[in-house]
Amino acid sequence: MKVIAVNGSPRRNWNTAKLCRAALEGAAAAGAETELIHLEAMKFKGCMSCYRCHSVREYDTQVCYWQDELTETLKKCVAADAIIIGSPLYYGFATGDVRAFMERLMFPIDTYEINEEGVRPVKLDRVIPTAMIYTMNAGGLPEKNQLSMNENELRRMFGYSESHYAFDTCQFADYSKYRANLFGAEHKARRLEEQFPIEQERCRELGARLVQKARDAQAGLLKREETRLSPEIVEMLRGQK
C-alpha cells in the first residue's frame, strides 16, 4: 500500500506541507508506505496540447508523453494506491504548479471516447482514492464552486475524491517583518497554537481514511461511478445539434 502526497506550495515547511505530512502520518499509522513530493523543486510546464496520449499509436499510455522533472512523479502517482494533493489558495485558486501538475496527471488517463451505453470511460482500470488539502491565509470560505471542479474531475478520473479546507492560517512566522496590518498578529498566533493542531489531526484522519478507501477499492467494494452522457449532449459535442 503506497500513498503519495504532492505539496504544491512554494514553501516546504509551512501550512500546506505540514498538513500533507500530517495526512501521511495518518496513512502510515494505518499501515501504508508514504512519500511526500515537493513540486517547487522541479522545472516543468502544464499540458502542451500535443495530444500524443490521445493519438491512435500511443493511446494506451497513462503518463504524459513529455519527459521532464515531473515525469517520475507522474509515474509514481499512477502506480500509487492513494494520492493527496496539497495547495495554498492564491486569489481563490490552487497554485500554478498544482494546476500544471493536475493537467499532466489527468489528461493522459482521460478519453474523448464514448461507448454504446453512453459512458465516457477513462483509461485507468482501477480506483485510486484522492484528496485535496487547501490552505488559505484569509478567513472564511472562498467560492467552493471554483474548487469543486478539482474534486469532481479527480473523482471522475480516479474513482474517489474528497477535500479538506484549512483557512485563517498563520502566514508569517513574524508579522512585524511585513506590512500586513490587515491581519492581527495576535489572532494569527492564537490560530497557529489552537486551531492548526486540529487541522493536522483532521488531516491524519483523512490519510487513514484514504488507506481504508484504497483497501475497499482493492477488495472491489469501492467502484468508479460511470460518467454517462445523454444523447443530446453527445449530439451537441459532435456538432449534430
Q: Give the pLDDT confidence of 65-75 residue by residue, as tens digits.
A: 999 999 999 99
Model pLDDT, residue 141 = 63
- As a whole number, mean pLDDT of residues 67-93 equals 95
Please indicate whether residue 232 or residue 2 has the higher confidence score (pLDDT): 2
**For residue 34, pLDDT beyond 90:** yes
Burial of 216 (C-beta count, 10 Å sphere; 0-12/13-18/19+): middle
Q: Which residue is listed with cell 474534486? A: 151
Q: How far is CA 161 from the centre of its chain?
A: 8
Overall number of domains in the chain: 1
Lowest-pLDDT range, 27-31, 63-67, 167-171, 217-221?
A: 167-171
Name every residue whose Cβ is closer than 8 Å to that of residue 2 and which is 6 or more positions away in sequence.
32, 33, 34, 35, 79, 80, 81, 82
What pLDDT sits at residue 226?
Answer: 79
pLDDT band at 145 (very low <50, low <70, confident <90, very high): low
User: What's the confidence (pLDDT) of residue 77?
Assistant: 97
Please say if the pLDDT value at position 63 is more than 70. Answer: yes
Q: What is the SS3 string spanning the chain?
A: CEEEEEECCCCCCCHHHHHHHHHHHHHHHCCCEEEEEEHHHCCCCCCCCCCHHHCCCCCCCCCCCCCCCCHHHHHHHHHCCEEEEEEEEECCEECHHHHHHHHHHHHHHCCCCCCCCCEECCCCCCCCCEEEEEEECCCCCCCHHHHHHHHHHHHHHHCCEEEEEEECCCCCCCHHHCCCCCCCHHHHHHHHHHHHHHHHHHHHHHHHHHHHHHHHHHCCCCCCCCEECCHHHHHHHCCCC
pLDDT band for position 45 (cuts 50, 70, 90): very high
pLDDT-derived band of residue 240, with 50, 70 and 90 as boundaries? low
Is residue 231 pLDDT above 90, yes or no?
Answer: no
Mention every residue, 6+ apart, whose C-beta is less than 8 A from residue 36: 5, 7, 17, 20, 21, 24
pLDDT tens string 151-168: 999 999 999 999 999 998
pTM of the model: 0.92
Of 59-63, 106-110, 183-187, the range with the lowest mean pLDDT is: 183-187
Residue 218 pLDDT: 95
Averaged pLDDT for residues 78-102? 94
Q: Output the domain CATH number for residue 143.
A: 3.40.50.360
Q: What is the mean pLDDT of residues 42-55?
A: 93
pLDDT tens column, 155-206: 999 999 999 999 989 788 888 888 888 788 888 888 888 899 999 999 999 9
Provide the domain limits for residue 49.
Answer: 2-237
Q: For residues 46 and 230, which has the higher predicted lDDT (pLDDT)?
A: 46
Cβ(38)–Cβ(21) under 8 Å?
A: no
